[in-house]
A = this chain, B = another copy of it.
């Protein structure tokens, strides 16, 4: 394993001046409905509206001046692009984001709003990578991979680190911590942070990933032991359409307890429930964990569960309900 707990705690110290310390929210009504005690880490209230601010910020603030001067590039369905664009702007670096043509308009606008250049590509991982390669050849920018990267995984792991510290203050050690899984940066970082903290506290916390049935490459790989390399996702959860990364797959195989699936209707229902009951705006990807809890009650009944709400960037003019 290439990423250590101390890289995550160093990442937190590095990014803390720039990110929000997001609250943990609870809903007695949702708890009552589902028969478990849920603690939601509201990363939809994070800078750029998603936990991706953590990884992007850690990547940019880990670079030296020579790298920054070359500018940075990435591919992203949206939130990582916005995060990198935002973090690059904090250090005055140029940023280019390759985005699939079907990414939500609000996410393309956010990237441009932070001063980055958007280059559109076809909605496949192959075309994303080819487009990035062509741009790097032309401009010499430094690639910051959205998830298959040590600095990114360490940055995303800070969300779990913060969550568990906040729950510790409340004297509420969870039985389970959940994050959605797309490319796997958040889930891998969550697993590393949680395993280390649980060991320190001499306790056990299960780490569970949640994935849409329509983008279940991580689940398939987790079950079969073989990473799925080619996959065409079909899900409303636009933030989870990426294919699981190589180092993310390894970490997840070793350190994650389970991956559970959620249906498309379940994701929309969970999203609406969060909006209605918790009065916060979450995007479909952020609702996948709650959907998985609702659709797999036997795994969660009576348990104390921490859920990382990944982001809140939605087109208000194109709601699924």
The interface of chain A, by Cβ under 8 A from chain B, is 23, 25, 44-45, 49, 106, 272, 275-276, 278-282, 312-313, 316-317, 319, 321
Contact = CB atoms under 8 A, between A and B. Distances in A.
Contacts of A316: 272, 275-276, 319, 321
Nearest to A279: B312
5 contacts: A25-B45, A45-B279, A49-B279, A279-B280, A279-B281
Contacts of A25: 45
B45 A280 contact: yes
Nearest to A317: B321
Most chain B CB within a 10 A radius of its CB, from A272, A279, A317, A321: A279
Contacts of A23: 23
A150 B263 CA distance: 50
What are the nearest 4 A-B pairs in CB distance? A279-B312, A279-B281, A44-B279, A23-B23
Contacts of A276: 106, 316
Nearest to A276: B316
A311 to B, nearest CB: 8
A321 B49 CA distance: 21
A44 B280 CA distance: 9
A145 B145 CA distance: 58
Given A279-B280, A279-B281, A281-B281, 20 more contacts: A23-B23, A25-B45, A44-B279, A45-B278, A45-B279, A45-B280, A49-B279, A106-B276, A272-B316, A275-B281, A275-B316, A276-B316, A279-B282, A279-B312, A279-B313, A280-B280, A280-B281, A316-B319, A316-B321, A317-B321
A17 to B, nearest CB: 14
